[in-house]
Structure 1
Amino acid sequence: MTARPSAARHRFPAGGATGHASMGRGLRAAGALALTMVLASCSLLGGGEERGEPATAKADPSIVAGAPEGLEEFYSQEVVWEPCEEDFQCTTVTVPMDYGNPDGETIEIAALRAPSTGKKKGSLLINPGGPGASGYDFVKDAALTHFSQPVRDAYDLVGFDPRGVKRSAPVTCMTDAERDAARAKIYDLDTDAGLAAALADNKAIASQCKEQTGPSLAHIDTESSARDLDILRAVVNDAKLNYLGYSYGTFLGSTYASLFPDQVGRMVLDGALDPSISYEEITLSQAKAFEKAIRSYVADCQQQDGCPLDGDVNAGVQLIRDLINGIQQNPQKAKDGRLVNATMFVSGLITPLYNDESWPALTQAIEAALNGDVSLMLRLADIGADRSSNGSYTSNSTFAFNAINCLDHRMEADTGAMRAEQRRLMQESPTLGYFFAYGGTNCADWPYENVRTPAPVEYTGDTPIVVIGTTGDPATPVEWAASLRKQLGNAVLMTWEGEGHTAYGRSNTCIEDPVDAYLVSGKAPADNTVC
C-alpha cells in the first residue's frame, strides 16, 4: 500500500510511492522500459501467439457454469486481444458498474498481456499496488526484466487497470494546473482556521471528483475490484486465478481469496497489507516504518564517501529534520520557479525510500538542499506524483488512491481525535509523523460513505497462498505479512531481510527461486522461510 503524507497537509499530495506499487517498482519499470527500447528488435512473444493477429478469447462453458447468479453474460463475454504497444496485446472487459445491480450500467476494464513464450499453463494476473497503480503499465514496462524466463514461458502475463484507475472508468478531478496549485498550497493545521481551510478545499475537490467522474465513483471499492478480477479470470479461460499482487494488490488478492476461495490458484501476495486493522493503525505503522527506513538510509549513507550527513545516525537524522523544519518555516523556490513547501519536500524525501537502489539519488537531493537548492527534491516528489518534466501528469493515481481509500476505510475526522493522532504520530515518528496526520480530512466530506469495516480475511481454499514480507519495508511493515499469513490459514510466509518495499523481483535467489517454482510447478515454498 502506497504511503502518502496527509492530503490535509496539501491536497492530494504526491505520496511516497508512485501512487502505483512502489517507488522501487516504479524505477524498475522505468528501467525496463528503457531496456525494451534498446532491445526493440527482440520479441516478447517467442513461442506464443503471433504479434499482429487479433486473438479471440471466451470462457469455456464449464467456467461460465460457475458464474455467480445474474452475472453469466459477463463471464461468457467474448473479448478480442488486439496487437498494441509493440509486442503486447490489449483488450477491454465489460463488468457491472454496481454488482448490486448487474442489469444496470457497465464499465470497461482495460487489460494488456504479454503472451507466454513457451508452453502456456495459463494466465498470471498482476496488480502492482497503490491503490491507483496501473497493472497495464506495469506489465508493459516490466515484462522483459521483472519475470524469469520459466515464468514467462508458463504464463500470459496480464496487467489490468482496476476500476477507477487510468484507463478503466478513471477517477477524474482536476486539471494538471490545478494539481500543481493544490500540491503547493500550505495549511497551518495546528490552528482551527487552517484546519477549516483544508476541510473546505477537500470538500470542493470531492465535489469536482463526483461531477467529473460520474456515478462510477461510488463503486470503485476493493470488493468490487475483486469481483472484476473473477470475471477477468473467466475471460482468460482459467478455471482458477493465478495472481501476483504487490502492496495494495495483496489486499485485493486477499479480498478475492475470501470471496472466491475455490477459484484461487497460485497466488503470491508481496508487501502484505493487514486487512484487520483500522486506517489510523495503518497510518501509525507506516509512519514508524518510514522513520526506521530513514535511519537505515542515514546509516548506509554514512558508510559512503561524500555523505553530507555528518556524525552518527542521530546527528544525520537531525540534519534531515532541520532541513524539513527550515522548508516548513520558509518554503523555497526550485530552479523552475515552483514553490516547494514542506509536504512536497517530504514527498520527495520518502520516494526513494521504497528502493535502496534509489538511495544515492536521495543523497544527491539532500546534499543539494543543504546547499540551498531544492530542485532535485522537487523532482523526486514529481516522480512520486507521476508528474512529467513538461508539467503533465501521466496518471490519475493520486485521485484513485484517495477515492478507493474513502470507500474502503472509515477515517476519523473529529478534530480532537485528529489532533490526538498527530501527537501519537509525532511521538512515534519524530521526523515524519507530523506529515502523516489529519488523514481524516481526505474523506470527511466525500460524497459516498465507506462500504467496508476492518476485519480479518477468511480463506477456506485448498491451494496454499504465498505471503512475502520485507524487514525494512517502509510502506507495508513486515509485521503485516505475518498477520495476513495467520488470517489466511492455508498460506506460507517468506521474509526477506532487506530494505525497501516488496521483495519478489528485486531481492535474492532465496526468495525468487522458490516463488518461481511455486508459480510454475505449484510447489509451495517452505513456511517461515527467512533470507
Structure 2
Amino acid sequence: MDTRPSSRPLRTFGAAVTAAALLSSGCSAGASSPPAASLSKKAVPAALKPYYEQTLSWRPCGGAEFECATLKAPLDYARPGTGRDLGLAVSRKKATGPGRRIGSLLVNPGGPGGSAVGYLQSFAAVGYPARVRARYDMVAMDPRGVAGSEPVTCLSDKQMDAFTQTDQTPDAPGETDRLVAAYKKFARGCADRSGRILGHVSTVEAARDMDVLRAALGDRKLHYVGASYGTFLGATYADLYPHRVGRLVLDGALDPALSSRRINRDQTAGFETAFTAFAKDCVRRTGCPLGTRSVADARDRLAAFFTRLDSHPVRTGESRALGEPLATMGVISAMYDEAAWPQLRTALRSAMRGQGGGLLSLADLYYERDTDGSYANLMYANPAVNCLDLPPAFRTPAEVRKSLPAFKKASPVFGETLAWAALNCAYWPVRPTGTAHPLHAKGAAPIVVVGTTRDPATPYPWARSLAAQLSSATLLTYDGDGHTAYGRGSRCIDDAINTYLLTGRPPAPRTRCR
C-alpha cells in the first residue's frame, strides 16, 4: 500500500506558493458550532434528525466495484432545515470478505482540499491490504468545498498560472505591493465565485458532516484513517464525538494546539530537515547537481540558484518560464517522498543548465495542474479551510519582515518563501471561526497517532504532542524520511496499523519502527 501520491500535506497557500506551511491547525467549535460536550452524548437535535435519518441512494460509479451517493448536510449547522443545504459526494466499495464485516472505514488523504473520493477510487480501495478491505466497506466523502462537494473556486486557470509565478521573496517595496495585490485578488476571486460556501468550510463543520455520514451508513462507531490534514479532521471528530469513536488512525499528525505562525515556522524547519536528508544522499553521488562536498555547500548552491532565477528565469519548453517561485515549489514538492529524489536530482541538473521543464513538472504536481493547463480545486479549498480554522499567521507585511530572521534560521533555503506564504490569510474575505487549542477526546476508544521522524510537512514533534493531548492515544513512530508512514515500506508500521484496524488492539506504547 502506498498513500504517498494523494496525501499531500496541509499547505499554507501563498502567492507562488503554498509552499507548504500549512496554515491549518487548530480547531475550535467555531461560531456556528456548539462545544464538544454538547455533541458527544446527547441525542441528535430535532432539527438535525432529517439529516441523520436520511437514506443514501447508491448508484454505480467509477467502475463496477464502486457505488456513489450524495449526502445532504446543512450549509450552516446553526440554521439547519432552512433549505440552504449542501450535497456532499460519497463513494464506497463494499467489504469483499471473507470474515465478519466490521463496518465502514472512512479514509481521507489530507490537504485540506484533497479529494477523498478520488483517493478511494484511484488507490485506497485496491491499495489497502486485502485483509482490511475484506472486513470493511471502504468509504470516502469529499469534505465540503472540495472536489465533488460544492468545490471552492477562486481564479481562472490563466489567473492561477500568474498567481503561482508571483515573486514570493520580495526585496523591494514594489515587489511587496505586487505580492499583496496577488493575495487580495485571490481572496476577491474566492468571494466572488464561492461566496455561498466560503464561510462554512471549517474543519469542525466537516467533522460534523462525518458524523451525519456515519449515521447514514448505519454505523454505531466511526472507523477512520486520516493522513496529514486528515489527522486534524479525525482528531476534531474525536473531540466532538468521543463516544462515537471506533478505530482511528491519524498518520502524519498535526498539532491543533499551535498558532498558525508557529505551525508555519515548524513546517519550515521540517522542510529544512527533509532537504538535509536529500542533500546528504545527493552529495555522496557522482554528478550531484548541488556538488559533492557537503550539505552546507549543497544548501548554498541551491540558494544561489534560486537567487539567479529570481532575476533570470530559464526556459521550460512552454510559455511559462521557470523563475524562483516555481523552482522553489518544485524542490519542495519532491521533499514529501524520498522516492522523488532521483527525479529532483535530474530536474535540478537540467534547470542549472538552462532547461527548467523538470522542476516545472514537479511544481505542477504540487499544484495539481493538469497537462491541459487546468487546476484541480485543491489549491482553492486549501486556503478556504485554513483561513477559516485559525487567525492569520501575519496581518501585515511588516509582521512578516520582523519574523524573517526566525524563518531563515529554521530554513536558510526555504525560510523567506514560507514566511511570505503565510501572509495570505491576512486578506481573506471571511473571518476565522476557530482558535488553536488542545484536543482531548475524553472517553474515546483507543486511537493510534503515527509520526515520521523526518517528515517535512508534519514534523514529528506534532505527532508526539497530539498523542499526548488525546486521552486514549498511542504514538507509533516511524524512523524514516517522507510524509506519513502507513504503506510506505515499513512492515513494522503496516502490521501494527492493520492489527489495530482488524482487532482494535493498538500497538504497544513507544513502538518505534524503521
Taking structure 1 as the reference length, the TM-score comes to 0.87
The change in CA–CA distance for 1:90 and 1:176 in structure 2 (over 3 A counts) is same
- Within the alignment, does 1:217 sit opposite 2:194 as a pair? no
Q: Which residue in the other structure is 2:377 paired with?
A: 396
- Within the alignment, does 1:115 sit opposite 2:94 as a pair? yes
Q: Which runs of 5+ in 1 are unaligned?
A: 20-62
Q: Which residue in the other structure is 1:70 paired with?
A: 47
User: Does the aligned pair in 2 maintain the 1:409–1:452 contact within 8 Å?
Assistant: yes
Paired residues for 1:28-427 under 5 Å: 66-86=43-63, 87-104=65-82, 105-118=84-97, 119-143=100-124, 145-186=126-167, 189-309=170-290, 310-393=292-375, 395-411=376-392, 412-427=394-409
Residue 196 of structure 1, CA deviation: 2.8
Residue 3 of structure 1, CA deviation: 5.3
Q: Which residue in the other structure is 2:35 paired with?
A: none
Once residues 21 and 174 of structure 2 are traced to their aligned partners in structure 1, the CA distance between those partners, rounded to angstroms, is 30
Equivalent position amino acid for 2:86 in 1: I
Residue 203 of structure 1, CA deviation: 1.9
Residue 66 of structure 1, CA deviation: 4.0
User: Does the aligned pair in 2 maintain the 1:17–1:351 contact within 8 Å?
Assistant: no
Once residues 91 and 5 of structure 1 are traced to their aligned partners in structure 2, the CA distance between those partners, rounded to angstroms, is 31
Taking structure 2 as the reference length, the TM-score comes to 0.90
Q: Does the residue aligned with 1:448 lie in a helix, a strand or coil?
A: coil
Once residues 364 and 229 of structure 1 are traced to their aligned partners in structure 2, the CA distance between those partners, rounded to angstroms, is 42
Once residues 189 and 6 of structure 1 are traced to their aligned partners in structure 2, the CA distance between those partners, rounded to angstroms, is 16
Equivalent position amino acid for 1:214 in 2: G
Residue 205 of structure 1, CA deviation: 2.2
Percent identity among equivalent residues? 38
Q: Does the residue aligned with 1:219 lie in a helix, a strand or coil?
A: coil
Cα shift readout 1:243-294 (whole Å, capped 9, x = no counterpart) = 1110000101111111001000000000000000001101111111101111
User: Does the aligned pair in 1 maintain the 2:11–2:111 contact within 8 Å?
Assistant: no
Q: Which residue in the other structure is 1:505 paired with?
A: 487
Q: Which residue in the other structure is 2:512 paired with?
A: 530
User: Does the aligned pair in 2 maintain the 1:18–1:384 contact within 8 Å?
Assistant: no
Once residues 374 and 244 of structure 1 are traced to their aligned partners in structure 2, the CA distance between those partners, rounded to angstroms, is 37
Q: Which residue in the other structure is 2:450 paired with?
A: 468
Q: Does the residue aligned with 2:302 lie in a helix, a strand or coil?
A: helix
The change in CA–CA distance for 1:138 and 1:260 in structure 2 (over 3 A counts) is same
Q: Which residue in the other structure is 2:3 paired with?
A: none
Paired residues for 1:423-434 under 5 Å: 423-434=405-416
User: Does the aligned pair in 1 maintain the 2:10–2:20 contact within 8 Å?
Assistant: yes
Once residues 170 and 298 of structure 2 are traced to their aligned partners in structure 1, the CA distance between those partners, rounded to angstroms, is 28
Once residues 342 and 460 of structure 1 are traced to their aligned partners in structure 2, the CA distance between those partners, rounded to angstroms, is 47
Cα shift readout 1:175-225 (whole Å, capped 9, x = no counterpart) = 111111221233663333332332233222212211211311110011000
Q: Does the residue aligned with 2:374 lie in a helix, a strand or coil?
A: coil
Once residues 468 and 422 of structure 1 are traced to their aligned partners in structure 2, the CA distance between those partners, rounded to angstroms, is 31
Q: Does the residue aligned with 1:124 lie in a helix, a strand or coil?
A: strand
Equivalent position amino acid for 1:73 in 2: P
Once residues 13 and 430 of structure 2 are traced to their aligned partners in structure 1, the CA distance between those partners, rounded to angstroms, is 20
Count residues with an aligned counterpart. Answer: 484
Residue 357 of structure 1, CA deviation: 1.1
User: Does the aligned pair in 1 maintain the 2:21–2:267 contact within 8 Å?
Assistant: no
Q: Which runs of 5+ in 2 are unaligned?
A: 1-7, 24-39
Q: Does the residue aligned with 1:153 lie in a helix, a strand or coil?
A: helix
Cα shift readout 1:406-453 (whole Å, capped 9, x = no counterpart) = 101111213332111222101221011011012453122212100011
Once residues 441 and 484 of structure 2 are traced to their aligned partners in structure 1, the CA distance between those partners, rounded to angstroms, is 23
The change in CA–CA distance for 1:356 and 1:140 in structure 2 (over 3 A counts) is same
Cα shift readout 1:62-105 (whole Å, capped 9, x = no counterpart) = x9994244210000001122111112111110000001111220
Once residues 449 and 379 of structure 1 are traced to their aligned partners in structure 2, the CA distance between those partners, rounded to angstroms, is 35
Once residues 407 and 4 of structure 1 are traced to their aligned partners in structure 2, the CA distance between those partners, rounded to angstroms, is 14
Equivalent position amino acid for 1:386 in 2: E
- Within the alignment, does 1:520 sit opposite 2:502 as a pair? yes
Residue 115 of structure 1, CA deviation: 1.4
Residue 369 of structure 1, CA deviation: 1.4
